[in-house]
Structure 1
Amino acid sequence: MATVWTVPEDITRVLLAAPGIRDFLTNDEGRGAASDPKVRLAEFTAVVNSLHMNAGRTFTSVRDAAGVLFDGPAIGSVVVSDALRLAVMRVITAEPRERKPVPNPLSPRVAESLGLYVYALRDPRDQSIFYVGVGRGNKIYSLDWDALGEAGTLDGEGVGDTDRDETRAAWIQRIRDIYAAGYSVDHIVLRHRIDVAHDADAEAKEFTHVVIDALRLLEHHPDHPVLTNLAGEPGDLENRAMSVMELTAQYSAQPAPDLPVPGALIRVPAAARRGLTADELYALARGPWRAGSAARNVADLPVIVFADNIVRAVYRASSWESVGAAGEQEWRFTGAVDPELEARFVGTRVTPDRAGLKAWPAHGWVQRLTLARPHGR
């Protein structure tokens, strides 16, 4: 159990509501406080900027927090008085946290499915990527095990040159700090099942995709990305960065049973989000979709919802409403969960070939009305 100090996300509101901050801004009685109110305001402004840059970040000691918040680059040449330091530290949340356990090794089946992969390690405290590497097997976890003294677990295969001593020391310290603060490292696979290619254009294109995936992880507002490459981007299930947990779920899942006919499959990438409620999932699943008239005329049509090739829910569509102008209409269904089908399908893996396809259509709707062939509309 360790005590940590976390900068609140709404730090400005918290500061302005704190009596110690109000006292600092209105009088010079605190230790080291400047008599000139303009100087005190300049101090406060610099500290607020620093706190905003570190909102959500957790520190394992007052000394570490002070070094970043009051003496870091965001402060510039401003000297922060003891009075303001003390007032700010009193409003930063201090709480005890237990260290998260280190990750367990991947199963042989998952490790084999990943093949050669490129990965990134992300600090959940500020969403920064602090390491990128390439490897096979459990290499993605091996840095955690090494940093935390779990050497007996090491069995990952690295690729390429070993890290410089300075690099290794840096990621060891970062990983230890993350776990000491009560968090665990985010492990992201940027690309897996990599085959050596000899096509220069293909290699350049793939390299571009990997860089875009890495930068996607830094987006604070995914719906309004800073990186313009992401604007209007469809959800590509097979070629995007995914957490090891997501990939483990994919490759550990059993194949889905025979798909119901008639029925429909709908790809809802957002259904993979953690913490999604049943109502939120249903709202996402309803559409609108390119549902053809034949599908809409099937009473209680089974609708299988999947994301990242894993089934997330199964509904029975009882009615449909049109959305959009005539000739360009799509359809939104109303229905209810089918408990029997969910018991059979949720958590299983469904791939395009199961529906007679080479890839899922971009619009996400696949209807299967006969065993002969699937329909995109």
Structure 2
Amino acid sequence: MAEAHQINKRVRQQVADELGLYVYMLVDPQTGIPFYVGKGRGERYAAHGNKAMLTAEQNAGSTSDKVARIQEIRRSGHEPEIWIVRHGMSSLTEYTAVEAACIDLLRALPVQPKAASVARLPEGHARQLSNARREESKGHGIIRLQDLYDEKAAPLLTTERPLLIVTLGAWVDNLELALDGSELLGYGYKTAWLTRTERIEHY
């Protein structure tokens, strides 16, 4: 969760906006085992990490099991992973039902720690189910939050060539004639982000 604070604030906000209503899990990266399931919108998933940092400094004697696990993971030099189980849901009823189903499932079935050399990723154990296919999630299925950040963030610019950087002002909707006589619908830089569905449609 500390890693979320190192991501550009606008990228974090873009991801939070696109998630809508979602259900998430906090996962111990050392064992690959989820230790908390929650639901929310915006950057709700980061609230536990913030509380854990405050609790560690101010209220060390009165922590919840969840906060204690976060602190324990951090003391070992790691950060809890945030996995988004399902996002883009349309109602509180729907995301409450998904959260309840995840909690029931994880409380009912054993989850074994992963081997130290094996990464645990969404869809990493698909073969343990006999289902021939996965139900259509329309781009809203389980994914690590870090993978969403990586998808949204611009790649690091590394070059030894000289660069000319031009800063554009904010977009202005204004019908104007260009020098060649064509019409311009506006000028400047549009800061709006495309949703995942729009990106798939246009690219």
Q: TM-score, normalised by structure 1?
A: 0.30
Root-mean-square deviation (CA, aligned residues, Å) is 4.0
Give the one of 163, 167, 186 matched to 2:81: 186
1:132 equivalent in alignment to 2:37: yes
Give the 5 Å matches for 1:298-377. Answer: 351-354=199-202
Which sections of structure 2, spanning at least 5 residues, go unmatched? 57-61, 115-119, 156-195
- For residue 103 of structure 1, report the CA deviation from its aligned partner: 3.0
The match for 2:51 is 146
- Count residues in correspondence: 137
Give the one of 131, 134, 147 matched to 1:246: 147
Does the 8 A contact of 1:120 with 1:190 survive in 2? yes
Separation (CA, whole Å) in 2 of partners of 1:242 and 1:150: 28
Radius of gyration: which is bigger?
Answer: 1
Separation (CA, whole Å) in 2 of partners of 1:223 and 1:173: 28
Q: 1:353 to 1:224 in 2, by over 3 A?
A: closer
1:216-264, Cα deviation, whole Å (9 max, x unpaired): xx586935632334x444895603111111222344469xxxxxxxxxx
Q: Which amino acid counterpart does residue 145 of structure 2 have in structure 1? A: V
Q: 1:235 to 1:351 in 2, by over 3 A?
A: farther
Give the 5 Å matches for 1:147-296. Answer: 147-149=52-54, 169-196=64-91, 207=98, 211=102, 222=124, 225-229=127-131, 231-233=132-134, 238-252=139-153
- For residue 107 of structure 1, report the CA deviation from its aligned partner: 2.9
Q: Secondary structure in 2 aligned to 1:225?
A: helix
- For residue 149 of structure 1, report the CA deviation from its aligned partner: 2.0
Does the 8 A contact of 1:122 with 1:130 survive in 2? yes
Which sections of structure 1, spanning at least 5 residues, go unmatched? 1-99, 152-165, 255-348, 356-377
Q: TM-score, normalised by structure 2?
A: 0.52
Q: Could you tell me the percent identity over the aligned residues?
A: 25
Does the 8 A contact of 2:88 with 2:140 survive in 1? no
Q: 1:197 to 1:126 in 2, by over 3 A?
A: closer
Separation (CA, whole Å) in 1 of partners of 2:125 and 2:141: 17
The match for 2:186 is none
